[in-house]
Chain A
Amino acid sequence: MITSVFGVLFDGFAYGMLLFLLSVGLSVTLGMMNFVNLAHCTFGMIGGYVTVTLMNSWGWPFLATLPVAFIVTALISVVFERTMFRHLYRASDLDQCLLTIGLVFVSVATAAWVYGTIQQPVQLPPYLRGSLQVAGLTLGIYRIFLIVFALVVTGLLVAALEFTRFGAQVRAAVDNQRMARGLGINVDGAFAITFALGSGLAGLGGALAIDIVGLDPSFALAFLVYVLIVVAVGGLGSIGGTFAAAMLLGISDMAGKYYFPAIGSFLIYLVMISLLMWRPAGIFGRRT
Chain B
Amino acid sequence: MRRAMIGLALFAATLISATGAPEQAHAQDSVKIGLIMSYSGQFADPGSQIDNGIKLYMKEHGDTVAGKKIELIRKDNGGVAPDVAKRLAQEAIVRDKVDMIAGFDLTPNALAAADVSAQAKKFMVNMNAATSIITTKSPYMVRTSFTVPQVNESLGTWAYKSGARKAYTLVSDFSPGHDGEGAFQRAFKEAGGEIIGSARYPVANLDFTAFLQRAKDMNPDVIYIWVPGGPQPAAIGKAVAERGIDLNKTKVVGQGELTFDEALKGMGDAGLGFITAFHYDHNHQSAKNKKFVANYNADFKRNPDMFSVGGYDGMHVIYEALKKTKGDTDGDALIAAAKGLKWESPRGPMSIDPETRDVVQDVYIRRVAKVNGQLVNVEFDKLENVKDPFKARLPKQ
Contact A257 B231 (CB under 8 A): no
Q: A140 near B42 (CB under 8 angstroms)?
A: no
- Nearest Cβ in chain B — how far from A257, in angstroms? 4
Question: Shortest beta-carbon distance, A162 to chain B, in Å?
Answer: 32
Please state if B210 and A254 are interface contacts (CB–CB under 8 Å).
yes
Contact string against A for B residues 204-245, beta-carbon threshold 8 Å, 1 for contact and 0 otherwise: 111101110110010000000000001110110010011110
Residues of B within 8 A of A131 (CB): 241-244
In contact, B204 and A222 (Cβ under 8 angstroms): yes
A250 CB to nearest B CB, Å: 9
- Asked if residues B234 and A119 are in contact (CB atoms below 8 Å), the reply is yes
A118-B265 in contact given A212-B206, A215-B231 (Cβ < 8 Å): no
Size category, A interface: 35 or more
0/1 string, A260-287, CB within 8 A of B gives 1: 0110110000000000000000000000
A170 on interface, CB distance cutoff 8 Å: no
B40, B202, B211, B232: most-surrounded residue (chain A CB, <10 A)? B202
Provided the pairs A119-B230, A119-B231 are in contact, do residues A261 and B242 lie with their beta carbons within 8 angstroms? no
Instruction: Determine whether the beta carbon of B243 is less than 8 Å from that of A138.
Output: yes
Complex Cα distance, B48 from A116, in Å, reads 9
Asked whether any CB of chain A lies closer than 8 Å to the CB of B200, the reply is yes
Chain A nearest CB: distance from B258 CB in Å? 14
Q: Are B268 and A129 in touch, CB under 8 angstroms?
A: yes
Contacting pair B45 A117 (CB below 8 A): yes
Residues of chain B contacted by A222 (CB below 8 angstroms): 42, 204
Query: What's the Cα separation between A218 and B266 when bound, in Å?
Result: 18
Taking CB atoms, residues of chain B closer than 8 Å to A138 are: 213, 242-244
A195: Cβ under 8 A from any B Cβ: no
Question: Looking at the complex, which one of B45, B207, B238 makes contact with A118 (CB distance below 8 Å)?
Answer: B45
Interface centre among B231, B243, B302 (most CB of A within 10 A): B231
- Are A217 and B44 in contact, with the CB atoms below 8 A? yes
A240 within 8 A of B: no
Q: Does B96 contact A (CB under 8 A)?
A: no
**Please, how many angstroms separate the alpha-carbon atoms of A15 and B41 in the complex?**
25
A-contact bits for B262-293, CB 8 A (1 contact / 0 none): 11011010100000000000000000000000
Taking A116-B48, A117-B44 as known contacts, 19 extra A-B pairs with beta carbons closer than 8 A to each other, sorted by chain A number, are: A118-B302, A123-B266, A129-B268, A130-B241, A130-B242, A131-B241, A138-B243, A140-B242, A142-B238, A212-B207, A212-B238, A213-B206, A214-B230, A214-B231, A214-B235, A218-B41, A253-B207, A257-B201, A257-B211
State the A residues within 8 Å of B (CB).
4, 7-8, 11, 15, 109, 112, 116-119, 121-124, 129-131, 133, 138, 140, 142-143, 211-218, 222, 253-255, 257-258, 261-262, 264-265
Binding site for A on B (CB under 8 A): 40-42, 44-45, 47-48, 173, 199-207, 209-211, 213-214, 217, 230-232, 234-235, 238, 241-244, 262-263, 265-266, 268, 270, 302
Instruction: Name 8 interchain pairs, CB-CB below 8 A, sorted by A.
Output: A116-B45, A123-B266, A123-B268, A138-B213, A212-B206, A214-B206, A216-B45, A254-B209
The 5 closest A-B pairs by CB, nearest first: A214-B231, A265-B202, A121-B265, A258-B210, A140-B242
